[in-house]
Amino acid sequence: MTRTATRRLKPAVATTLAAGAILGSVATPALAATGTGTADQAAKQAACLAVVQQHAKDLIAARQRSLDALTTEVDGAAHLTTTDRAAISTVISSTRSGLTSLAATLAAATTCQQAHAADARIFTDLRVYVIVEPQAHLLLAVDHGLDGLTHLQTAADTIATAITAANTDGKDTVPAQAALKDLQARIADAAGQLATAHTEAAALTPSAFNADHDVTAPARLAARTGRQDILAAVADVRAAVADLKK
């Protein structure tokens, strides 16, 4: 689901310019002073309304397609917890409802200004690309991390048992014990980071983004740190195993 900002931005900018030019003409006092000007104004209002309605229709359709793709992705994510799956589905469902409602509002608009107001709500109320999709992917990421921790805990338990057996044999296990200690610390830290990432991700809303455009950063930072812990823990497992096999 790779998208480029450019691809999304260009049509929007073009439509903004077109609608803005029409609106500017509508508001020209000189034209409004004559009968012909009034007719022109009405025609331009109608043209502006059509432009904005079509633009909004395209925006809504693109977002519905993105939500379709996200739904498919979430449905196929076997590692996702039941709670997170339900939460993401709820957000997708409510966002779809919001888009459908806005589509109806836009279709019923009789002035360019009304259409503009409804069009703006596609962004401010729903935030498909800056909140809904990132939020879902953050939760998917966290759940992958939690799966990783489950595997690492299995590895830690296995290594602890192997160290005990090796100690019984009189083998020097100091390096393996050090690796195990670091492994356990990494697991604990990763668990904390992933919990933070989950909490931050779960709290994301369009209104939070409207107040702070960097609102997803804490969740991403925590998830990234958790991943680094997991990679370090994997290295610890390999180090402990290598020492025990000496």
Partner 1 sequence: MALAACAPRAGTAAPAAPHRTPAPVSTAGRASAAPTAASRTDGTGTTRANSPGAAPDVLDSAAAAALRAADDAGRDATALDQDLSQSTPSSEGTNP
Q: Which of residues 159-198 bind partner 1 (CB under 8 A)?
A: 159, 161-162, 165-166, 168-170, 191, 194-195, 198
Report d(CA 122, CA 95) in Å as an integer.
10
Range in contact with partner 1 (rule: CB under 8 A) among 24-32, 35-43, 49-57, 101-109:
49-57
CA atoms within 13 A on the CB side of 5: 1
11 binds partner 1 per the rule CB under 8 A: yes
Report d(CA 3, CA 124) in Å as an integer.
20
Answer for which of 83, 100, 107, 174 binds partner 1 (CB under 8 A) is 83
- Per the CB < 8 A criterion, the answer to whether 219 and 170 are in contact is no
Report d(CA 127, CA 206) in Å as an integer.
6
Residues 91-110 that bind partner 1 (CB under 8 A): 91, 94
Answer for which of 72, 90, 100, 110 binds partner 1 (CB under 8 A) is 90
Q: Total residues at the site for partner 1 (CB under 8 A)?
A: 99
13 binds partner 1 per the rule CB under 8 A: yes
Answer for which of 5, 30, 36, 211 binds partner 1 (CB under 8 A) is 5
Supply the minimum distance, in Å, between the C-beta of residue 33 and partner 1: 27
Query: How close are the terminal C-alpha atoms of the chain, in Å?
Result: 46
61 binds partner 1 per the rule CB under 8 A: no
Answer for which of 129, 182, 185, 218 binds partner 1 (CB under 8 A) is 129
Residues 204-223 that bind partner 1 (CB under 8 A): 204-205, 209, 213, 216, 219-220, 223
46 binds partner 1 per the rule CB under 8 A: no
What's at 24, amino acid-wise? G
Question: What CA–CA distances, in Å, run from 189 to 155, 217, 222?
Answer: 16, 19, 10
Residue 246 DSSP symbol: -
234 binds partner 1 per the rule CB under 8 A: yes
Residue 70 burial by Cβ neighbours in a 10 Å radius (0-12, 13-18, 19+): buried
